[in-house]
Chain A
Amino acid sequence: MDIYLLEAIINGLLLGGVLALLSLGLNLIFGVIDVVWIVYAEIVMSAMYGVYWLYSYYHWPLLLACVGAIGIGALIGVLVHVVVIQPILGSAPINQLLATGGLLFFLQSLATLLFGTDYRNLGIRLPVIEIGDIFISFSRLIAFFMALVGAVLLYLFLAKTYLGTAIRAIAQDREIMGLMGVNERRIYVITSAIGGGLAGLAACLLVLQYDVHPFIGLTFGPITFMVCVLGGLGNMIGGFIAAFIISQIIAVGGYYFPVEVAEVLAFVFFIVMILFRPQGILGK
């Protein structure tokens, strides 16, 4: 096989890891609270600024800055839920989506106000691994493994802990669980915190690869939604599979065509899929 095609496929696999990581939090929120956080990518953007800010201005060690950013993500997640979602929990899903959309502009504008529109980066250059003639980005490799670790941890949390069981139960039947004595509000807040924290984790890995600017959410936000919907909103395993399908379309498509055309292919694939299988690849 052509060595460049192989490289494209491997890099696509790694990109899939990043997309899978991005989709984890969003999927959790949707599965449990039944709300589409259209603002999700902007939470990632805020957490990216968090890493940048803690690392570059306050000179925290990188790992500590990442932990801080996950905290920032979780905090924003809780705020999104308490301030925006909680009051309109009963209204039509599309209205909830639009309400978080308003927040999207707020976060973008706030970031513009605080940091300006400059492209900022940590100034860290991670090495590029060379195996034979194939080049692999080290930061993508980390992101790929973090996605796997994140997914496994999330799975263990949901499957093995008491809290996780409560979260899964709520996702299955929200009416009954209230009657069973589960405090729904508390579960929702905790879920939002975890979802926001996962956005923060994704941000830590993205900030190693991309420059952060206030509008970066618009570049990967749509793809993240696509991955979630394609996998079946709320379905984690489906999301994972979808992430790798989409990333392969982009990577292999990018080998044959310009990268924008490859992305167009991915979006068109998404539109066609949603028409014929709106419940997603693994949806019920």
Chain B
Amino acid sequence: MSGAGGARALGYAALAALAALPFFLSSYFQHLAVQIVIWSLVYTGWALMGRFRLTSLGHGAFLGVGAYVPTLLWNNYGVTPWLGIPAAMALAILLAMVVGYPCFRLKVVGHYFALVTLALGQVVLLVIVAAREITGGSLGMTPRAVGHSWYALQLPDKASFYAVALGAWLLGIAAWHWVERGMQRPALEAIAEDEEAAAAVGIDVLKEKLRITALSTGLTALGGALYAQYLMYLNPESMSGVGISLQIVFAAIAGGMYSMFGPTVGACLHHRAQRGAARAVRHAFRRRRQYDLRRAACRVHHLHAARHRGLGRADGGAAEAAGPGHARGPGGRITLDSLRRF
């Protein structure tokens, strides 16, 4: 009893420390903290499915729905994100059900399930790009800025956003706790072990799988929505598709998808590691940095050239060969000469 009480007291103390964290951090580390908390929520959402061997390689789809729906509602109809986010979550869950129901019904498991979800992530990416009239396509879009407004969920400082994100993260942890403590966990574990046997002992396999999928995808959509609101910029590549979907999977697994705080640790690791590695690489390749500067200059030039020529590249890059090539020397190498011209 005292052990459980002690653990609980420790938990509250840790939570209080987390809540107070932004007051001790510089702006840059606040930025990191917000990102880590939001991604922790997303990874936790994914792990809710992943831990029961429902390996989804397409959670980017739900991230994308979560990010774009509130922004589209806000920009086009002035609907507050406070309503837009629940709508996005509902839509993400609906999408998950539309794909999940037949999958579970027809017993698509293992790497077939993984590949179906991979395709789903790609479908959402392509739909966002195709709907470029309203989403801005690959160039991305920004929520219409109104300055500081809680109504629009555009918060003045990182600390406020951190509080919102922390609340959402707590929701994810609570969901995990609820699954862990309820009858769902043993049922889903039995399903993961052997679906037929689980069905034989009276577990409603379809219902259990759909419930955990709904929970997982809803939380992921929430994370996507918060991330878009925080960054105030969305683009299809970073919010949906294969790349981000796989990042979710690997960060969650790296942190540990079987424990409550595993995905959170994964988020810390991922963001720390990214920055640590970036620094190490910069150090090791210090001499390359001057080239980077040149390359950056070149890219500006490319953009410039592209703007005059129009950005459309319908033929998958063949035009590139004849396109901004004059910034490069023979064989695509950047030469000093071409830069001098610039």
Q: Which of A146-154, A170-178, A253-261 contacts B (4 or more CB under 8 A)?
A: A253-261
Counting CB contacts under 8 A, is B108 at the interface? yes
Asked whether A209 lies within 8 Å of B114 as measured between CB atoms, the reply is: no
Chain A interface, >50% SS class: helix
Interface mask (A139-183 → B, CB under 8 Å = 1, otherwise 0): 000000000000000000000000000000000000000000000
In the complex, how many angstroms separate the beta carbon of B164 from the nearest chain A beta carbon? Answer: 30
Give the chain B neighbours of A210 by CB distance below 8 A.
Answer: 316-318
- Is A64's CB within 8 Å of the partner chain B? no
- Cβ-neighbour of B331 out of A55, A97, A260, A261 (below 8 A): A55
Interchain CB contact under 8 A, A218 and B242: yes
How many chain A residues have a CB neighbour from B under 8 Å? 49
Contact indicator B318/A209 (Cβ below 8 Å): yes
Contact: A267 with B126, CB < 8 Å?
yes
A232 to B317 CA separation, bound complex (whole angstroms): 31
A270-B111 in contact (CB<8A): no
Known: A105-B250, A222-B119, A275-B108. A263 touches B103 (CB 8 A): no
When C-beta atoms are compared, the residue in chain A nearest to B122 turns out to be A222
Bound complex: CA A221 to CA B128 (Å): 19
A207 to chain B, nearest CB (A): 11
Q: Is the interface of B mostly helix, strand, loop or mixed?
A: helix
B246 at the binding interface (Cβ < 8 Å): yes
Q: Please pick, from A101, A121, A218, the residue contacting B320 in the complex, using a CB distance under 8 A.
A: A121
Q: How many A-B residue pairs have CB under 8 A?
A: 121
- Residues of B within 8 Å of A101, CB to CB, are 246, 249-250
Q: Mark B320-335, 1 if CB is under 8 A from A, else 0.
A: 1110010010111110
Say yes or no for B129: interface residue by CB 8 A criterion. yes
Cβ–Cβ contact A93 & B99, under 8 A: no
Q: List which B282-338 residues lie within 8 A (CB) of chain A.
A: 285, 292, 295, 298-299, 314, 316-318, 320-322, 325, 328, 330-334
Q: Is the CB of B321 within 8 A of A98?
A: no
A118 at the interface (CB under 8 A from B): yes
Of A98, A116, A274, the contact of B116 (CB 8 Å cutoff): A274
Instruction: Tell whether B127 is near chain A: CB-to-CB under 8 Å.
Output: yes
Please determine whether A137 and B331 come into contact, CB atoms closer than 8 angstroms: no
* Contact count band on B: 35 or more
- Across-interface contacts of B111 in A (CB, < 8 A): 36, 93-94, 97
**Inter-chain contact B322/A125, CB cutoff 8 Å:** yes
CB distance from B292 to the nearest CB of A (A): 7
A221 to B299, CA, bound (A): 26
Q: In the assembly, what is the distance between CA of A107 and CA of B127, in Å? A: 28
Whether B246 contacts A120 by the Cβ 8 Å rule is no
**B123 to A264, Cβ gap below 8 A?**
yes
A275→B102 contact, CB < 8 A: yes
Once the chains are docked, how many angstroms separate the CA of A260 from the CA of B334? 32
A116 to B291, CA, bound (A): 10
Given contacts A209-B318, A218-B241, A222-B118, contact A276 B106 (CB under 8 A): yes
Within B249-275, the residues touching A (CB, 8 Å) are: 249-250, 253
Q: Which residues of B sit under 8 angstroms from A229, Cβ to Cβ? A: 112, 115
Contact of A226 among B119, B246, B322 (CB under 8 A): B119
In this assembly, does B276 line the interface, its C-beta being within 8 Å of a C-beta of chain A?
Answer: no
- Supply 12 A–B pairs (Cβ within 8 Å), ascending by A: A97-B114, A105-B246, A118-B298, A122-B331, A123-B331, A137-B318, A210-B317, A215-B243, A225-B115, A260-B126, A267-B119, A274-B112
Show the binding face of B for A, using Cβ within 8 Å.
53, 55, 99, 102-103, 106, 108, 110-112, 114-116, 118-120, 122-123, 126-127, 129-130, 241-243, 246-247, 249-250, 253, 281, 285, 292, 295, 298-299, 314, 316-318, 320-322, 325, 328, 330-334
